[in-house]
Amino acid sequence: MITEDVLSQHGISGAEFDRIKDILKREPTITELGIFSVMWSEHCSYKSSRVHLRRLPTKGSNVLQGPGENAGIIDIGDGLAVAFKIESHNHPSYIEPFQGAATGVGGILRDIFTMGARPIACMNSLRFGPLGSTQNRHIMEGVVGGIAFYGNCFGVPTVGGEVSFAKCYSPNPLVNAFALGIFEKDKIFYGRAKGVGNPVIYVGAKTGRDGIHGATMASAGFGEDAGAKRPNVQIGDPFMEKLLLEACLEAMNKGLIVGIQDMGAAGLTSSSCEMGARAGTGVELELDQVPQREEAMTAYEIMLSESQERMLLVAEKAREKEIFEVFHKWGLDAVTVGRVTADGLLRVKQHGKVMAEIPNKQLADEGPRYERPMLPPKSTGTSRLDYFTFLDGCDETLIQEFLNADHNPGTADFNRLMLLAAGSPNLCGRQWVWEQYDHMVQSNTMIGPGSDAAVIRIKDTGKAIAMTLDGPAYLVSRHPREGAKMMVAEAARNIVCSGGRPVAATNCLNFGNPEHPEIMWQFSEVVDGIAEACSVLETPITGGNVSFYNETLGDNIYPTPVLGMVGIIENLDHVTSSGFMDAGDSIVLVETSRMDIGKIDLNDERALQFMVRDAIQSGLVKSAHDISEGGLASALAECCYGTMHRPAIGATVKIPSHLEACKDLFGEHPSRILLTTQNASELGKRAGAAGLELREIGKVGGKRFVLEYEGQNAVDLAIDELETVWRRTFPKLLS
Amino acid sequence: MKATIIVTLKPTVLDPQGITIQRCVQSMGLPEVTDIRQGKYFDVQLADNTPPERRKELIQRLAKDVLTNPVIEEFRIDWDQKS
Amino acid sequence: MKATIIVTLKPTVLDPQGITIQRCVQSMGLPEVTDIRQGKYFDVQLADNTPPERRKELIQRLAKDVLTNPVIEEFRIDWDQKS
Amino acid sequence: MKFGVVIFPGSNCDHDCYYAIHSVVGRPVEFIWHQETSVKGFDAIVLPGGFAYGDYLRTGALAKFSPVMQAVKSFADKGGLVIGICNGFQILTESGLLPGALMRNSNMKYICKFLEIRTAATDTPFTNSLSEGQVLNIPIGHGEGNYFADVDTLKELEDNRQVAFRYVENPNGSVHDIAGIVNKGRNVLGMMPHPDRSSEKLLGSTDGKLIFESMVQALAGRAR
Ligand SMILES: Nc1ncnc2c1ncn2[C@@H]1O[C@H](COP(=O)(O)OP(=O)(O)O)[C@@H](O)[C@H]1O
Ligand SMILES: [Mg+2]
């Protein structure tokens, strides 16, 4: 009955099929094959990545929960903890941008409140192909609209993230969603089916034939027939999710819940067998009890459906009724669909027949594991964009303007280049995106989108949480290991600039086809880079997600790791943003003594971050901004642009001369921070003591943006003019 | 010259709006309403001098390429012979 | 037993959605489309045992009190005799 | 003096309003579940922002059928203070407690940002501590804040000076730049901008607090 064809439709190899038969000691039924295929898909089993992920540092004094649960958890003091995680929804967003992105947000939010935490912030990292193409514009509008639709309605502020453009994401976008929630640290819930005899309860939306094989879909690239896979996409219902959140938290508070897990990828299958595996128990499901939206659904379909907004929970035997009352209060269905057993098996019954019977442990934890072959590229020469990665994905004419200026600085018009940089797709203002996101709901947003890191105060504690997402894909594509280190360093630097101490991180690893040895090599290098940087900067990894097979017609995307860093700000007075504050403030550049490009010295970086953190905590710093894409000139301009509380303000700055004008203005050396202060000399002393270079390079004030270079005004523009270009580009690119 | 295009979710696609409305209506004391599904309705006006063969093509294209998201929706055209 | 309710904006109310679509259509090079107005479309299913006289009242009430905002919208009912 | 913040399924600024009143303004406040049929014991009712019933069908359209709205209606009829913020405003127009309707923003997108509104009427219990023309720095966060009313209604609103706030720069297409209105009795206010998100310096503005404080003052005056 199970033919080669059926196996290949399920993405199960011959060897894997043999293992299945070994485990079952018989041929699987079709339902069982479906169940194995989703649990052993790349998406759920991490079969290509697991051997590498083990190298990530996962322990630290603040870490309460590392990888392996729905989200990582850190202790933030005062008896409180935060749970956070990032997850990709790339493939669904490619197929249906709006719903794909929306359900991505829904999925990550469930991962957070499944653990008992109330989501208090979201971020997202987005990659698209250049907006010259109608298809890419359409995808981006859909993705941003979908994120806004879901997050706004659910009532969580979307406080930050990143958007960038490169050809390799055309038309296969990356959509990575991050969420963070807060709870009391002794009220953490886990996905464990404990207590033999306890009821297994299904809550939330009814099951339809949505997204069947979503997990396997996310584990295969797209060919010409991407359209044919379309009916798989699920629809998000943020209102239902909001009700689920409130009802679940209420039931948890009342002590009614023993174990709980969201039905995400692989739906009922993964939630039930993973809960059983973690507790060492069995789970018996009676599918006739499962609320169904469509007629005549088979066991296969019910087990594999990825209908959204559903949770599975295990309750105390005697308190079923109380659970129902809570859910009914919130207008939700709650139905007992099974019970916890002692035999360690996932047993699925329908119409009185056993349709599947598989040991939970082997299904959930003992999936295949591959050490796929790896192959480094023959050589990595230099690239013309090594200094100017922000130009990647831009029109060739724009790139040429910068490269010409780099070669012939004498004849270059830097006013023009400044305007071009500010209006280039990767640097221009992203208000078009984040004004569609409610970034203020819950009234905690001290620093929203647009600064280095977002800052959310924690009511009644005097503390705040800082968070950021970073993924410098072009750098990583050039040197995977160094790029990954720079990514971690930049994320931590962003936290530091906002006044925080970086504490822990989550990561989303978006890669091409792992069956290609070069991709697997990139993956391994990136993991090593993250591991090294996270060790040095003492920011353990508490979880993450891997998305492989990001390719279209055989072209792989850049290796695109995205790091989500979380930090603690112990005192609200330390909260710092990137925008300049007052006329007359001194602008100070702090950097390491090296002027590397495309690589980083982590010990220097650490010294830099410590020094700046300390300076902020001593009250010496009025604003702080990390220098990244677009170099010093772009960073300075960003500090001048209007914020929600003051109009644009000018600055006059002497740009230090190291190389040539274009590189000194726009070159992207890592490990540099711009500060403003009224006490530059004290900062200078501290920097000196830390072995860092610090220069007072200018003053805030006026209405002009003036950059002097080797005695000449290389840039001299009205700040309003520059800001207008920066602010208007995005809407223009879309119209 | 007018035509009406009706865009509805494919029958198997979840309609959260419809479900929510239906639930509300039920609890309002209209228990007889067993299902509501929501769709979109477009009244399209064409220039009078549009040649008949072009009309058909035009409305088809509008319905298919602009007004419908083929991933989750389907459409239906009502030709209005008046005016 | 089914009925269809169509809710449209009153002609005097500006329809931002329609305008957006109209613009999109123009930029696609379909100048013959002179106007598009968007409305909502509801397929309502009633329990089979609903008495005929109650049906009418029910659907009227649903359309008028729930599905339409009389400040900006008007409605129309299509009775579907099938089933 | 006790404030009540109504929770509809899908409300999501309920806690923000509660916090602003309780911890910032420092007045007693309790939540009211939407299934309640009475608002007895409350002196002012807040309909908070959010997406009641997901804003499905139309914003505020399904919330108006919640049992509590009957009670809010009779409370308002008797002169009780009711403030609807954002989704609360939408619920008030849908319920007929305020005239007009809130339609999709003219750019068809949700807009969240700080902006400025100008006080247009100070003789209301919500604006008594503001001065005529006073500009408030306050955020909006909505997809359907495009206020619409027919010509006659508008004339009446203007004649009775029922417009409480106008946008300095219209973000959403509202007629007459309307950001907030009161009813004829001046005891019901609906506004799209969020005073609950602008009552603390660390959130960027304390202007919103003036609205809650005006209510406190009005209630104190009544009690006297
Ligand atoms: N790149 C990574 N780094 C660290 N942990 C990871 C990474 N990718 C996945 N994990 C961990 O593996 C576990 C399984 O992840 P996943 O299948 O995405 O969970 P879910 O089913 O909730 O989406 C999680 O605990 C996750 O944190
Ligand atoms: Mg999960």
Q: Is the CB of A480 under 6 A from ligand 1?
A: no
d(CA D70, CA D11): 18
Q: Is A509 in the pocket of ligand 1 (CB under 6 A)?
A: yes
What whole-number percentage of chain B has pLDDT above 70? Answer: 95
- Give all chains having 3 or more CB-to-CB distances under 8 Å with chain C: B, D
This prediction has a pTM of 0.95
Helix (H) or strand (E) holding D153: helix D151-159
Ligand nearest to the backbone CA of A261: 2
CB distance B66–C28 less than 8 Å?
yes
The band of A228, judged by pLDDT with boundaries at 50, 70 and 90, is very low
Give the distance (Å) from ligand 1 centre to CA of residue A507: 9
**Residue A58: CB within 6 Å of ligand 1?**
no
**Residue type for A252, please?**
M
Provide the shortest C-alpha distance from residue B35 to chain C (in Å). Answer: 5
Mutate to test the interface with A, among D7, D8, D24, D51 (most CBs of A within 10 A): D51
**Across the strands, what pairs with C63?**
none
Q: How many residues does chain C have?
A: 83
- By most ligand atoms within 8 Å of CB, the mutation choice from A90, A275, A506, A545 for ligand 1 is A545
Q: Which chain A residues are closer than 8 Å to B10 by Cβ?
A: 231
Q: Which residues contact A157 (CB under 8 A, 6 or more apart)?
A: A120, A121, A122, A151, A437, A438, A439, A440, A441, A442, A444, A445, A448, A456
- A175/D77 Cα distance (integer angstroms): 50
Contacts of A359 (CB under 8 A, 6+ apart): A23, A344, A345, A346
User: A79 to chain D, minimum CA–CA distance in Å?
Assistant: 21
Report CA(A194)–ligand 1 centroid distance (Å): 22
Long-range contacts of the stretch A717-723 (C-beta < 8 A, 24+): A717/A415, A717/A418, A717/A419, A719/A640, A719/A641, A719/A648, A719/A649, A719/A650, A719/A651, A720/A648, A721/A419, A722/A418, A722/A419, A722/A422, A722/A637, A722/A640, A723/A640, A723/A641, A723/A642, A723/A648
Q: Is B69 on the interface with D (CB under 8 A)?
A: no
Q: How far is the CA of A13 from the centre of ligand 2 (A)?
A: 26
From C13, C16, C66, residue closest to D108, measured CB to CB? C16
> Which residue, chain included where needed, has tokens 């822990």?
A504
- The verdict on the CB of residue A131 being under 6 Å from ligand 1 is no
Tell me, in angstroms, the distance from the centre of ligand 2 to residue A281's CA: 19
Concatenated DSSP letters for A579-640?
Answer: S--STTPEEEEEE-S---SS---HHHHHHHHHHHHHHHHTT-EEEEEE--TTHHHHHHHHHH
Q: What is the pLDDT of residue A357?
A: 97
Assess D116–A contact: CB distance below 8 Å, yes or no.
Answer: no
Say whether pLDDT at A265 is over 90.
Answer: no
Residues 6+ apart with CB under 8 A from C5: C41, C42, C44, C59, C62, C63, C67, C75, C76, C77, C78
Question: Minimal Cα–Cα distance from B28 to chain D, Å?
Answer: 7
Q: Whose CA is nearest to atom 15 of ligand 1?
A: A545
Chain A contact for B70 (CB, 8 A cutoff): yes
Q: At what angle do helices A517-536 and A480-497 cross, to 10 degrees?
A: 40
Could you read off the pLDDT of A594-618 as tens digits, one per residue? 878 889 999 999 999 999 999 999 9
The residues of A annotated with a catalytic role in the active site are 43, 89
Dump pLDDT digits (tens) for D15-61: 999 999 999 999 999 999 999 999 999 999 999 999 999 999 999 99
CA nearest neighbour of B6 among A322, A331, C8, A302: C8
Q: Running DSSP on this structure, what letter comes out for residue A664? A: H
Task: Tell me which ligand sits closest to the C-alpha of residue A113.
Answer: 2
Q: Give the per-residue pLDDT at A382.
A: 85
Q: For ligand 1, is residue A545 a contact (CB within 6 Å)? A: yes
Question: Rounded to the nearest 5°, which phi and psi values hold at D84?
Answer: -115, 120
**Residue A221 pLDDT more than 70?**
no
Mean per-residue pLDDT for A558-586? 97
**φ and ψ of A154, to 5 deg:** -65, -30
Cα distances from D201 to residues A445, D24, D28, in angstroms, run 11, 11, 22
What mean pLDDT do residues A273-279 have? 96
Mean pLDDT value across chain A = 94
Query: Chain D residues with CB inside 8 Å of C66's CB?
Result: 57, 61-62, 65
Is a pLDDT exceeding 80 seen at residue B51?
yes
Position A605, amino acid: E
pLDDT of residue A224: 41
The answer, yes or no, to whether residue A225 has pLDDT greater than 80, is no
Nearest to B40 by CA among C42, A187, A696: C42
For residue A179, report the distance from its CA to the centre of ligand 1, in Å.
Answer: 14
**Set of chain D residues whose Cβ sits within 8 Å of the Cβ of B28:** 65
Quick one: how far is CA A357 from the chain centroid? 36
- Other C-beta atoms closer than 10 Å to the C-beta of A481 total 20
Helical axes A238-253 vs B16-27, angle rounded to 10°? 60
A436-466 exposure pattern, b = at least 16 Cβ within 10 A, e = fewer: bbbbbbbbbbbbbbbbbbbbbbbeeeebbbb
Distance of CA A707 to CAs A589, A700, C9, Å? 14, 12, 55
pLDDT, mean of residues A629-643: 97
pLDDT at position B12 over 90: no
DSSP A388-441: -GGGTTS-HHHHHHHHHHHH-GGG--HHHHHHHHHTSTTTS--HHHHTTS---T
Chain C residues with beta carbon closer than 8 angstroms to that of D172: none
Would you state the pLDDT for residue A220? Answer: 52
Task: Give yes or no for a cis peptide into A171 (omega within 30° of 0).
Answer: yes
Q: Which atom of ligand 1 is nearest to the CA of A70?
A: 22
What pLDDT score was predicted for residue A38? 92
Residue range D108-118, pLDDT digits in tens: 999 999 999 99
- Residues D61 and C64: their CA atoms lie apart, in Å, by 12
Q: Do A237 and D113 touch (CB under 8 A)?
A: no
C-alpha A278 – ligand 1 centre gap (Å): 15
Phi and psi for D75 in degrees, rounded to 5? -60, -45
B67 neighbors B5 (Cβ within 8 angstroms): yes
Site of tokens 């609205």: D211
Are A47 and A15 in contact, with CB atoms under 8 Å apart? no
Does ligand 1 lie within 6 Å of residue A111's CB atom?
yes
Q: How far apart are CA A157 and CA A119, in angstroms?
A: 9
From the list C14, C17, C67, the residue facing D57 with the nearest CB is: C67
% of chain B surpassing 90 pLDDT: 49
Per-residue pLDDT band at A223 (split at 50, 70, 90): very low
Whose structure tokens read 């595996």? A277
What local confidence, expressed as pLDDT, does residue D222 receive?
Answer: 83
Q: Higher confidence at residue A549 or residue C18?
A: A549
Q: In this model, does residue B81 exceed pLDDT 60?
A: no
* Contact of A387 with A667, CB cutoff 8 Å: yes
Rounded Cα distance, A238 and A260, in Å: 20
Residue C24's Cβ-count burial label (10 Å; 0-12, 13-18, 19+) is middle
Q: pLDDT of A148-176, one tens digit each?
A: 999 999 999 999 999 999 999 999 999 99
Cβ A68 under 6 angstroms from ligand 1: yes
For D23, which residue in chain A has the nearest alpha carbon?
A460
Contact B41 C6 (CB under 8 A): yes
* B9 → chain A, closest CA residue: A235
* Whole-angstrom distance, CA of residue A154 vs CA of residue A131: 29
Which residue has tokens 């607090």?
D209
Chain D interface disruption, residue of A443, A447, A451, A735, most D CBs within 10 A = A443
Per DSSP, the three-state class of A79 is coil
Give the rounded distance of the alpha carbon of A450 from its chain centre.
Answer: 17
Beta-carbon contacts of A134 under 8 Å, excluding residues fewer than 6 positions away, are: none
